[in-house]
Amino acid sequence: MRTVRNTVKTVLHILLASSLLVAGSAWAAPAQAAAAVGQVGTLKFEVHGTHGRPVILIPGLEGGPWVWKDTIARLEKNHVVYAVTLAGFDGMPAPMRKTGLIDQADASLLALIEQQHIDKPVLVGHSLGGTLALRFAGEHAKLISGVVAVDGLPIFPGMDRVSAEQRQVIAERTRTQMSAMTPAQFQAAALGYMQHVGVIDPKLAEQYAPLNARSDIAATAGYAAEDMAADYRPLLKQADVPILEISPYYAPDFAQPPLKLSEAQKAAYYQGLLAGAPNAKVASIAPARHFAMLDQPAKFQQVLDDFLKSL
């Protein structure tokens, strides 16, 4: 039990980045006009661009296409971009089935590729979306060209240090705590998350925190708990496609124990979690927090462009 308590303390900083989000805000970001909008399974999708290599953008916990606003504007000139939203996030209704949420998202992603006849897309996922992309690569490598995971890993950071049983205990504890929060507590957590984990600039935190709040609380708790309990590392040996893991780094966040790490040490830790993949590399973007595409849009886009050109 001491190990569980210590692990909770160690990963608390990262837990906030994936779980303490909220519901209930009307602020909306302007979005690009989509060529088409539809739904497959539990995924909503919108299409941008008309020609070029297909790219599927998958946001993280409680995210929506707004996460990729600048990315879409850049990519749609030379790519067909599918921006998806998971059920329960960003105003989408929660899934009817309350368990196996990541399984449902995974099956829906497969259905999207098959039904829309998307030829060998590149999956670009943030956080939970990156984890989903890595899992999908381990299951269906022949259907895709590559994966870019932005601070999304095959196992929740820190959970590699505990047993599967302990991960489940931590996950269920998080689900219970999130579900019990009042709307006001969720709102406060959303802003605190963006201020201390999400982005560096306080103005960006105030701008984007409300967008992290347009989701179903129970669904958010469910996805977060499943993410914490999962370990997709065994699948990576079958993910025989180019994989790029983007590791954001902001030195002040890693200056004190228990999270005292240099930029190189954090990247090496991420590389270790991806060790089973035949062709995985890690690129660090600094200074940036969890939403690297918001903190460093130019650096992020350059890294993404270079990866796409290398395929």
In our burial notation (b when 16+ CB lie closer than 10 A, e otherwise), range 251-277 reads eebbeeeebebebeebbebbeebbebb
Least confident of 11-20, 72-81, 269-278: 11-20
Name the token pair of 152: 């999304």
Say if residues 42 and 82 touch (Cβ distance below 8 Å): no
Name the token pair of 153: 């890993």
Is residue 236's pLDDT more than 90? yes
Encode pLDDT of 113-151 as tens digits. Answer: 999 999 999 999 999 999 999 999 999 999 999 999 999
pLDDT class of 32 with cuts at 50, 70, 90: low
Please state, in angstroms and rounded to a whole number, the distance separating the CA atoms of residues 46 and 39: 9
Is residue 265's pLDDT more than 60? yes
Please state, in angstroms and rounded to a whole number, the distance separating the CA atoms of residues 227 and 229: 6
Query: pLDDT exceeding 90 applies to what percent of the chain?
Result: 77
How many other CB atoms sit within 10 Å of the CB of residue 185? Answer: 13
Least confident of 47-51, 107-111, 155-159, 255-259: 255-259
Half-sphere exposure of 290 (CA within 13 A, CB side): 29
- 203-206 contacts: CB < 8 A, separation 24 or more? 204/294, 204/295
- The per-residue pLDDT for 133 is 98
Integer angstrom CA distances of residue 231 from 131, 158, 239? 10, 12, 15
| C-alpha closest to that of 23 among 227, 196, 182 | 182
Encode pLDDT of 33-85 as tens digits. Answer: 677 899 999 999 999 999 999 999 999 998 999 999 999 999 999 999 999 99
> Three-state DSSP class for 100?
coil
Integer angstrom CA distances of residue 89 from 174, 196, 273, 285? 18, 22, 27, 26
Is residue 250's pLDDT more than 90? yes
| C-alpha closest to that of 130 among 10, 274, 20 | 274
| C-alpha closest to that of 250 among 176, 213, 199, 304 | 199
Pairing status of strand 43-48 against strand 36-40:
antiparallel
- The per-residue pLDDT for 11 is 39
Encode pLDDT of 183-220 as tens digits. Answer: 888 888 888 888 999 999 999 999 998 888 888 888 99
Put simply, whether the predicted model's pTM sits higher than 0.85 gets the answer yes
In our burial notation (b when 16+ CB lie closer than 10 A, e otherwise), range 206-232 reads eebbbbbbbbbbebbbbbbbbbbbbeb
Q: What single letter denotes the amino acid at residue 51?
A: H
Say if residues 146 and 240 touch (Cβ distance below 8 Å): no
Is residue 14's pLDDT more than 70? no
Least confident of 122-126, 257-261, 262-266: 257-261
- The per-residue pLDDT for 241 is 98
- The per-residue pLDDT for 33 is 67
Q: Which domains does the chain have, with CATH numbers?
A: 2-310 (3.40.50.1820)
